[in-house]
Amino acid sequence: MLAADPIWLAKGWLKTEPKKAIITFAGKKAIRKLKTENGKQVSGSNEHKLYVKRGKKILKLTIGEIKLGDELVCLPR
């Protein structure tokens, strides 16, 4: 996903605005890696949130809450 790319939510497409990133050090955290069926990987801390499709619902879950069988909601570049 690139800055200003639209994202899909349960209510429809959401336009995003490009913003300047502010990077801060929050100490050492454990990093989890998710691997998709097609071999792509996503990594982040347990608190990092992603949109997933679980059944017919789109949910915003932390990486720690994502379960086997959930589908990541993302857009092609």
| Of 58, 31, 61, residue with least CA distance to 44 | 31
Provide the pLDDT for residue 40.
80
Q: How far apart are CA 19 and CA 66, in angstroms?
A: 27
Q: What is the mean pLDDT of residues 48-65?
A: 89
pLDDT category, 34, cuts 50, 70, 90? confident
pLDDT digits (tens, 9 = 90+) for 4-21: 566 666 677 766 665 555
> CA 40 → CA 21, 24, 26, distances in Å?
24, 27, 27
Percentage of the chain exceeding pLDDT 90: 4
Report DSSP letters for 2-14, one per residue: -TT--EEETTEEE
pTM above 0.75, yes or no: no
